[in-house]
Structure 1
């Protein structure tokens, strides 16, 4: 039996688009999703490394865990 057989399958992340409505401290944001739900989101590592600025009113793509739909991670800035 190899290691590949022992690996568990990761849960799929939900990807949604939303608009940043408020900027908070520490790289956190309040994002209003397409379905009018407000969540807290933080920036992913790549956005932080490449110093991409996210401002109020920007459209972003957010990854949500199926376990906690109130928190997410901003993975892409659309505009």
Structure 2
């Protein structure tokens, strides 16, 4: 997967930035946060597929939830 281009961060204090510069900085921060979240999610899925202990723990949780009648929420 291609890494998203990381925008450069201005060294200017926020009080000295124009509204456009503040907007661009905020968008850059949000894009980095989303990219980090996606990477973490991919790593979790990869770890789940690699590690039988994680698979067993998830299966146990599913069994316990089914036994208790906990509703399943699909995200």
TM-score, structure 2 as length reference: 0.23
Taking structure 1 as the reference length, what is the TM-score of the superposition?
0.23
Higher-Rg structure is 2
Structure possessing the higher relative contact order (Cα contacts under 8 Å, 6 or more residues apart): 1
Q: Which has the higher helix share?
A: 2
